[in-house]
Amino acid sequence: MLIFSNYSKSFENIHVSQPVVDINLEDTNKLIVRYPKFKRITHLILSFDAENLFLNSKSAYGYSFNFEEVLGNIENQTQNGYFVVGVTSNKSRKKQYNPYPRTQNINHAVEHLNSLINIYLPSILSDYDVDINSVKKIVMGASMGGLMSLKTSILFPYFDNVFSFSPAFWFGFPDFINDLNNLNKNLFCNLSVGTNEGGVFGDSVSNIFPSEWNLDFSNNDSFYLSGVREVNKAIQAQNIKTNFLEISGGEHNEHTWVKVLEKFLNSV
């Protein structure tokens, strides 16, 4: 049974769970729930890296999506009501958020998704009396969370709207690209990447990744951009509808991702 408490004095409509244990990783996550104050629920959003959604002070790197402000503005102007279930990441994120491990005996990301979707999400929806069959269903994430959002839609295709900000495509590449063949053909994929995201690598990508990947190794920014373009190309090859945005000057953080978040929300 999940027990929730107030997330912040600033937000009476956002609650956070007690830590939930990932036994295999010997680590914990928390679940954060946000519900509309005065609106009928029309959309369910499942989000990864939930610590970065609402408050800069609680985020991993001092940036957040300011999600409550974004959702509140849309709710004030439309009939939409957004119910958000977010799961926080932890120090084992590189294992828990990589669905394409090369060396692990356990696919911790898939185990995490199975627990999240099959155990915790139904419990939360029941407690808050949300009918999953009557709402539009979105899964969203950034970087490795962007990778997880696409994997979620593959494994649980009733999430037929994906927001994938700057997916960390190099984890499991090219298996990740090949797995996109398994996406639900009714999917609507919102995908974005900035032109200045190469700083996440810390070294020249030509020293890190195999040249046979056939991506643009001329500089780190071009490498990131070319990889996400390959993701978009693979999705479009399945005749899946894709809203692909390249953000000029965009960097690998919520300052960039929030610029396209509202555009993505308005597409669903």
Residue 1 has pLDDT above 80, yes or no: no
- pLDDT tier at 173 (50, 70, 90 boundaries)? very high
Hey, which CATH number is domain 4-265, 3.50.4.10, 3.40.50.720, 3.40.50.1820, 1.20.120.520? 3.40.50.1820
Query: CB atoms < 10 A from the CB of 245, how many?
Result: 16
Give the separation between CA 102 and CA 100, rounded to whole angstroms.
6
Give the separation between CA 149 and CA 207, rounded to whole angstroms.
28
Give the separation between CA 104 and CA 61, rounded to whole angstroms.
28
Digit-coded pLDDT (tens) for 18-45:
999 999 999 999 999 999 998 999 999 9
- pLDDT tier at 91 (50, 70, 90 boundaries)? very high
Average pLDDT of the chain, as a whole number: 96
- pLDDT tier at 61 (50, 70, 90 boundaries)? confident
- What does the pLDDT read at residue 103? 83
Digit-coded pLDDT (tens) for 104-161:
789 999 999 999 999 999 999 999 999 999 999 999 999 999 999 999 999 999 999 9
- What does the pLDDT read at residue 44? 98
